[in-house]
Structure 1
Amino acid sequence: MRFIIQRDRLVQSVQDVMKAVTSRTTIPILTGIKITATEEGVTFTGSDSDISIESFIPAEEAGDEIVEIKETGSIVLQAKFFSEIVKKLPLGTVEMQVANSFQTIIRSGKAEFNLNGLDPDEYPLLPQIEEENTLKLPADLLKTLIRQTVFAVSTSETRPILTGVNWKIENGHINCIATDSHRLAMRTAPIEGAENSSYTVVIPGKSLNELSKILDDNSDLIDIVITENQVLFKAKHLLFFSRLLEGNYPDTSRLIPTESKTDVVVHTKEFLQAIDRASLLAREGRNNVVKLSTVDNGFLEISSNTPEIGKVIEEVQTDSIEGEELKISFSAKYMMDALKTLEGTEIRVKFTGAMRPFVIHSLNDENITQLILPVRTY
């Protein structure tokens, strides 16, 4: 194998596939990146057996030569060293050549590295996927769906299914739900070409986080292929495979209250900043708990009190408060996480009592639902 490649494209592809490589694997060869050169171009592959990423660099694009293929072939190189080397090479082009017994030479300018490679035949094959259930989403919408839900997945392995985001596809819509049993995030969006499809899968939160980092923020369509135990995201020159979580996701529809006792409409940014300030003295305490109570004249009182540190009280002007008086305590972190995902300048918070879950929406957009369970404070 021997080729000459543009350094910036090489760096980008290596960075993308590195997101799937882990040092904590039981399969030693998976600490490497597989490089395959064909007449069409060069493919880079990284995998940790849960996530696999394949990035392809074509020999030419829009009439420009990006890779000059001198000899086809493949090799596996230690990801940690290879990724650091390509980032620090001096010139705009890089020559790679595999000599005898997997010895690999990397040249750029006056710098020459010799790396010991591994046998590419030992590298596991990527999953073979039947393209039956496919849907298309613009990259920027997919990134938004992930951002508005993935933060609420559980980080505890006691209920593995909750470490993923539940995707339900039905009636031409996708419904993404994440919960760690203390809070819930849900986002709905219409999708093209799935009017007659109906299925549900749970994608690991870790996979979606890594996918989101790789995707460009544009409206290019991403093909999503779903099988029994794998999901494949296909972007231009990029394949991203993830295993799916096994098991049944809990029915969360029962958690979301249908009526409310106290409705508050408030300016998102002011509310978020007040919670942030109150949390400064709450961090050391139990669960960084902040208290909210309705006071007269359309104000909310936000406070926190940690006896050994001090206390803070702030009043926030609302647009409206309807219904019963309310005193409630909740995690400042959960509230701030939820508020940061909402679009629009104002939000509506629907409370159903001091010990019941409450729901937050953007004022004019019911597509995003954030739900938080309050904290008991005695």
Structure 2
Amino acid sequence: MKFTINRARFIQELQTVQRAISTKTTIPILTGVKIVLTAEGLNLTGSNADISIETFLTADDEKAALTIESTGQVVLQARFFSEVIRRLPETTFTLEVLDSYQVLITSGAAEFTVNGLDAENYPHLPVIEEQNQLSLPVHVLTKLISETVFSVSQHESRPILTGVHFMLKGSDLLAVATDSHRLSQRMIPIEQAGSEFDIVIPGKSLTELARSLTDEEEEVEISIMENQVLFKTKNMYFYSRLLEGNYPDTNRLIPTSFNTEITFSVPTFLAAIERASLLSHEGRNNIVRLAIEADTVTLYGNSPEIGKVEEELIYEAVTGDPLEISFNPDYMKDALRAFGDMTITIKFISAIRPFTLEPSVGENAFIQLITPVRTN
């Protein structure tokens, strides 16, 4: 195998597959990146126990400026190989596989010889049958991930909650994440829906997927198997294992009647929460308190060690009973950032019941739910 390629373009692809490569693995060859060169172009593959990423650089990719002298395949230790490529002096480099899987890398006056491995020993990627196919615009999928994934649990005590629950029912795709203290739920209409499905994808996989998708790609196809899901774009295959088990019924957690409602502009309210949390983070208890009266709404942050903050909030409308409620400001900040620059309505039942955040305009396609903190 021998080829010459643009270094910056190659590094871009290498960075993508490295998201799937772990240094902590019981299979030594999985610390490597698999490089396969065919007449069609260059394939790079990285894999661990949870995700596998395969990218394609076609022979006619102008930015890659790929010159193919001979085809073949090899596996190279990913971290070291990546460092070598980054530090090469020229804008292009040549990679050639010699005898015994030794690899010669040249760029300008620099010349490296590194030891490779037989690519035949690299584990095969799952074969995904073309079933349960669903096609989404890339920007829709990345937005769906960013609106929900922060609510997954970080604790392995309930593994199913470390993933996002995706359900396709009829023409609606529902994504739900909860760590039992908060919940994020987003529903989007699907134009060309395949067969219905009910799966849970690890939150870490979705975070890496969102980072791997680029603006250059327009559509992503989703194919589901028994324990795997494949996200396929023109230049990338992203495989993830699915979490086993039944996701809890989160519908019953979302209240439908409320006693107090308040409408805020998200950027204004978020800025106030960030100010209040400056003090709450310094204290032992990371809590802020919101007091709603008929004509004033006040936010309090307190740290016995540092001091306290009190701010009268700007709001757009308030209805219902007076209320004092305490909550984790970090949960509130995450929820608000998911909405972006819009107006939302926060709906409360009482000081000890979970409350919801929804866009003020439009149907309830996007809901955040937060459990308050009892302070007495």
For normalisation by structure 2, the TM-score amounts to: 0.97
Q: Which residue of 2 aligns with 1:213?
A: 211
Whether 1:202 and 2:200 are equivalent positions in the alignment is: yes
Shift of 1:35: 0.4
* One-letter amino acid of the counterpart of residue 78, structure 2: A
Shift of 1:29: 0.7
Whether 1:245 and 2:249 are equivalent positions in the alignment is: no
CA contact (8 A) 2:227 2:243 kept: yes
Distance across 1 between alignment mates of 2:97 and 2:216: 37
- 1:348 is matched with which residue: 345, 349, 352? 345
Whether 1:310 and 2:307 are equivalent positions in the alignment is: yes
CA contact (8 A) 2:217 2:233 kept: no
Q: Which residue of 1 aligns with 2:329?
A: 332
Distance across 1 between alignment mates of 2:242 and 2:107: 41
CA contact (8 A) 2:294 2:318 kept: no
For normalisation by structure 1, the TM-score amounts to: 0.96
Shift of 1:204: 0.4
Taking a change above 3 Å as real, the CA distance of residues 102 and 218 of structure 1, as seen in their structure-2 partners, is: closer
Shift of 1:296: 3.9
1:93-125, CA deviations, whole angstroms, 9 ceiling, x for partnerless residues?
Answer: 211001111110111111111111112111100
CA contact (8 A) 1:140 1:216 kept: no
CA contact (8 A) 1:344 1:362 kept: no
Q: Equivalent residue of 2:365, what SS? A: strand
Q: Which residue of 2 aligns with 1:377?
A: 375
Distance across 2 between alignment mates of 1:65 and 1:175: 38
Q: Which residue of 2 aligns with 1:51?
A: 51
CA contact (8 A) 2:266 2:340 kept: no
Q: Equivalent residue of 1:24, what SS? A: coil
Q: Which residue of 2 aligns with 1:255?
A: 253
Distance across 1 between alignment mates of 2:117 and 2:4: 21
Distance across 1 between alignment mates of 2:226 and 2:64: 40
* One-letter amino acid of the counterpart of residue 237, structure 2: L
CA RMSD of aligned residues (A): 1.4
Q: Which residue of 2 aligns with 1:321?
A: 318
1:59-89, CA deviations, whole angstroms, 9 ceiling, x for partnerless residues?
Answer: 1137x87322111111100000111121222
Q: Which residue of 1 aligns with 2:266?
A: 268
CA contact (8 A) 1:263 1:348 kept: yes
CA contact (8 A) 1:135 1:192 kept: no
Taking a change above 3 Å as real, the CA distance of residues 218 and 262 of structure 1, as seen in their structure-2 partners, is: farther
Q: Which residue of 2 aligns with 1:13?
A: 13
Shift of 1:197: 2.5
Distance across 1 between alignment mates of 2:67 and 2:264: 59
Q: Which residue of 1 aligns with 2:39?
A: 39
Distance across 1 between alignment mates of 2:110 and 2:28: 28
CA contact (8 A) 1:3 1:67 kept: yes
- State how 1:133-282 maps to structure 2 within 5 Å: 133-194=132-193, 197-217=195-215, 220-282=218-280
CA contact (8 A) 1:138 1:218 kept: no
Taking a change above 3 Å as real, the CA distance of residues 119 and 65 of structure 1, as seen in their structure-2 partners, is: closer
Taking a change above 3 Å as real, the CA distance of residues 37 and 307 of structure 1, as seen in their structure-2 partners, is: same
CA contact (8 A) 1:104 1:114 kept: yes
- Number of positions where the alignment pairs a residue of Structure 1 with one of Structure 2: 375
Q: Which residue of 2 aligns with 1:4?
A: 4
CA contact (8 A) 1:136 1:192 kept: no
Shift of 1:284: 2.8
**Identical aligned residues as a percent:** 50
1:137-196, CA deviations, whole angstroms, 9 ceiling, x for partnerless residues?
Answer: 0001111000000011000000000000000111111111000000001111112221x6
Q: Equivalent residue of 2:289, what SS? A: strand
Shift of 1:238: 0.6
Distance across 2 between alignment mates of 1:305 and 1:93: 57
CA contact (8 A) 1:17 1:45 kept: yes
Q: Which residue of 2 aligns with 1:363?
A: 360
CA contact (8 A) 2:35 2:42 kept: yes
Q: Equivalent residue of 1:149, what SS? A: helix
Shift of 1:266: 1.3
CA contact (8 A) 2:283 2:305 kept: no
* One-letter amino acid of the counterpart of residue 149, structure 1: T
| Structure 1 gap ranges (5+) | none
Distance across 2 between alignment mates of 1:65 and 1:21: 23
Distance across 2 between alignment mates of 1:66 and 1:173: 43
* One-letter amino acid of the counterpart of residue 57, structure 2: I
* One-letter amino acid of the counterpart of residue 253, structure 2: L
Shift of 1:218: 5.6
CA contact (8 A) 2:277 2:329 kept: yes
CA contact (8 A) 1:162 1:249 kept: yes
| Structure 2 gap ranges (5+) | none
Taking a change above 3 Å as real, the CA distance of residues 47 and 287 of structure 1, as seen in their structure-2 partners, is: farther
* One-letter amino acid of the counterpart of residue 165, structure 1: V
Structure 1 stretches (4+) deviating beyond 4 angstroms?
A: none
CA contact (8 A) 2:283 2:306 kept: no
